Structure formats: structure tokens, C-alpha cells
Amino acid sequence: MTTAPAYRQPGTVLVDHRFAVPLDHARPDGEQIELYAREVVAASRAADRERLPWLLYLEGGPGFGARRFIGRQAWLGRALRDFRVLLLDQRGTGLSTPANRQTLPLRGGPREQADYLGHFRADSIVKDCELIRRRLTGGTPWTVLGQSFGGFCATHYLSTAPEGLAAVLITGGLPSLDAHADDVYRAAFPRIERKNAAYYARYPQDVERVRRVTEHLVTERTTLTSGYVLTPAAFQSLGILLGGGDGAHQLHYLLEDAFVRTATGPALSDAFQEGVHAALSYAAHPLYAVLHEAIYAQDARPTDWSADRVRAEFPRFSAEKALTGDGPVLFTGESVHPWHFETDPALRRLRETADLLAARTDWTPLYDPAALAANEVPVAAAVYHDDMYVDTTHSLATARAVRGLRTWVTDEYEHDGVRAGGERVLDRLLALVGGEL
């Protein structure tokens, strides 16, 4: 472990840590990779930081580094009242040893890359956390806050290493313990359709705007200035925005200036193209695409591009069919398809690697129902009613399966409640695990 000198932001003191961990925890003396984590302490408590308990934050994803806060933003201000916080860049993300189109060829061909990425799921992440915990705390358990996929990791943590946990807080991230990816997406598409209905009810003028953009993309191959190929299906995937609290508004404003008049007729505006690229590109988080369905794999059944297969069961999401009638073109949501690896320049080199992961049949279970049924760690989870990203029914079934888990089910927030709700969401969960509510 290496630790850099402390530095400051408004109201906080930060320390950068780097850790060497095994790529494969079954071979602790084998290849090592590096993990980065940022420690944050309230400036007013810096003098007694060594006496503060730890809170580990696990970001959503997969494939996202820990959020880069400035000062005491969002939930961090509440956490810093009681904890020193560790913001971990999970393996392959942020400042940890990177895994992307530029670095993965160093592993070899697609087969070697797929084998390497097989070590980047929740099981390896939790083993990383346990190594880090012992190095930082001397063995003292810590509190874990898991957002979305971070909650999946926290649930695995409860299954396999509860001795490392003082408490667990989960926001929008209680996974099904046994659902195959097909089950996840069959539950997802009806929720996504409901989000579309709510979006168009709020912004009925966007029905025609979306149809117009879709018609343009059907008739004209469109390559953005970034090199991203904007197909109708790719355009529909902007619906991923609808899972956030202000996502419908973001999507509406993006569509406002979709077209501009040119000397040769209407064209998609540069501003629109730039906004679309920012929303759709996987350049900053390629593992989200490459490993997305693998986070649901737990047995010999391959994921086999589950979202793409299941989407065919919901013909209302066909843009071409929508254009033959007078109904709205439906946006899709959090799903990854083979065509993403053709449209997105950041993913094209990784198509064969992704295919191999989709075909893999030796995945191991991520959750232990017996261990969870005997759980003794205080756990609280915010479950967002009709969460577009994580199925509420699946989450509540898991909540019932984890002994002592307390839920806060709310429709006040969408999937990003821990960010949008800031201190209030974390305060509620801390009160639940502390027995104050």
C-alpha cells in the first residue's frame, strides 16, 4: 500500500491510497493489479481522523470509477459527520489499473481478454475490499454504502465476508439472488415502457420530435463527428436517461434543437450530436458494456446477449414498426446489445471479447441464500418504487431473504436518489441500521 500526502478541498481533507491486489484471488502470489482509492475526511475532524470509523463507498456500474466529489457534495456531507470515507475505484476503473480498448490488447487476443475480464465481477471486487480493509483498519469491520451495482457487490459481501462488515447501506441495488439475465430484462422492458409513457405525458410535443429524428436516421446513415454511428436503435437507447430524477428533462432539452437548417436542407445539429455522443459513448466506462450482462450470470447458462434476445419479445420497441403507425417511438433503457460494439468506436475492438463473455458457461454463484438467511449484519436498503434499472419486485424478494434487512420503499426518488436526495437518503438509512426508526 502506498499513501500520498494529504491535500484539501472546501471543507474536506483528502488522501490518495494505492493498493496492489491479485488479479486472481485464488492465486495470491500471481499477477498483481493496482487499485486506487481516495480517503475523505471532514476538515473539522481531520485532527482525529485516525479515530473515525470507515465507510467504504462502492459506485454503481459495472465499470464506473468512484464519483469525483468536490467538497461535501450529495451524500458525502452527511457521511463525513460520522465517518472517514473511502471512495474506491473498483478494478478496471478510474485510476485503478485500466481495462479498455487501449489496454486490453496487452493481454493478448479476445480469448485472453475475456479470461482476464472474468476476474472483474462482484466476487473479485469484494475480495479486493477485504484486502484493503485489513490493510487500512487493522481488521476492524467497516460500513459499506453500495449504489446500484455497488449494492450487488454489497450483497455478495454479506454472502461471503460478513465478518468485515459493521453495517451495510444499499441504494437502488438489491439484486435478485437467482434471476438469469433473461428474467432481469423481461421484467425491465415493461418498466421502461412505463417510463416512456410518463415522459411523453410530460412532454407530448416530443412525440413528433422523436419520430422526426428516427425517420431521419432510418433514411440516412448518420455518423457523429466523434465517429459514433447513430442508428435508430442507438438513438432509442437515449432512454437510459429516463431512469434518473431529472432524466426526462435532460432528454427533452436535448431534443429541442435536434435539427438545424442548412444549405442542403435540415440536418442534425452539431449541438444535438455532441449531446447524444456525451450520453451514449462508452469511452469513459467500457466495462459497463462489456461486463453488463455478466453481473447477472451465476451458473452454466450463458447470457448470450440476453437483452437483445428479450427485446424481440416486445415488438412495441421496434422503431420501424412505430413509424408505420401514429404512436410514439419508444426509447429503451439500461441494456447492452451486439450493435453497441459496431456503433461505438470505443467498443469496436472489444466485440469478439464481448461475444466470448456472452457465451461463457462456467460462471459461479454470487450470492449464498443460506448465509443471507442467517445474516447478523445491520442492513438497510432504499428501494425506489418502479426503479427503471433494478426491478422492485426482485429487490423486495431479496429483502425478505436477508435476515434483519430493513427497507425504505419510496417513489420520491428515481434510481439516482442517493445523489439527488443527498443527505436525506443516507440519513434515513443510517437511522434504520442504527435502530432509530
* Residue 121 predicted with pLDDT over 90: yes
pLDDT digits (tens, 9 = 90+) for 50-75: 999 999 999 999 999 999 999 999 99
Q: Is 362 a catalytic residue?
A: yes
Q: What does the pLDDT read at residue 66?
A: 97
pLDDT digits (tens, 9 = 90+) for 200-250: 999 999 999 999 999 999 999 999 989 999 999 999 999 999 999 999 999
* Residue 1 predicted with pLDDT over 90: no
Question: In Å, how far are 73, 116, 260, 400 from 265, measured between CA atoms?
Answer: 45, 49, 8, 58
Residue 217's nearest CA partner among 250, 254, 266 is 266
Contact 98, 92 (CB under 8 A): yes
pLDDT digits (tens, 9 = 90+) for 262-272: 999 899 999 99
H or E segment to which residue 279 belongs: helix 270-280
Alpha helix ranges (H) inside 361-434: 369-373, 392-401, 417-420, 423-433
Percent of the chain scoring above 90 in pLDDT: 96
CB atoms within 10 A of CB 386: 12
10 Cβ contact list (under 8 Å, min separation 6): 70, 71, 72
Q: What does the pLDDT read at residue 319?
A: 95
Q: What does the pLDDT read at residue 326?
A: 86
Average confidence (pLDDT) over 276-291: 97
- Which residue is catalytic, options 340, 391, 415, 416? 415
| pLDDT grade for 422, boundaries at 50, 70 and 90 | confident
AA identity, residue 118: G
| pLDDT grade for 256, boundaries at 50, 70 and 90 | very high
Q: What does the pLDDT read at residue 386?
A: 93
Four-residue CA torsion sign, 361, 389, 157, 58: positive
Mean pLDDT, rounded, of the chain: 96
| Ordered structural domains, the chain, with CATH | 2-178+367-433 (3.40.50.1820), 181-359 (no CATH)
| pLDDT grade for 166, boundaries at 50, 70 and 90 | very high
183-212 burial code (b ≥16 CB/10 A, e <16): bbbbbbbebbbebbeebbeebeebeebbbe
Question: In Å, how far are 33, 148, 159 from 154, measured between CA atoms?
Answer: 22, 10, 9
Q: Is 415 a catalytic residue?
A: yes
Q: What does the pLDDT read at residue 81?
A: 96
Residue 235's nearest CA partner among 205, 255, 263 is 255
Q: Is 281 a catalytic residue?
A: no
pLDDT digits (tens, 9 = 90+) for 308-336: 999 999 999 999 999 998 889 999 999 99
**What is the rounded CA–CA span in Å between residue 83 and residue 45?**
10
DSSP symbol at 98: B
Q: For the whole model, what pTM was predicted? A: 0.96
- Which residue is catalytic, options 148, 176, 226, 335? 148
The more confident residue out of 49 and 238 is 238
Q: What does the pLDDT read at residue 437?
A: 84
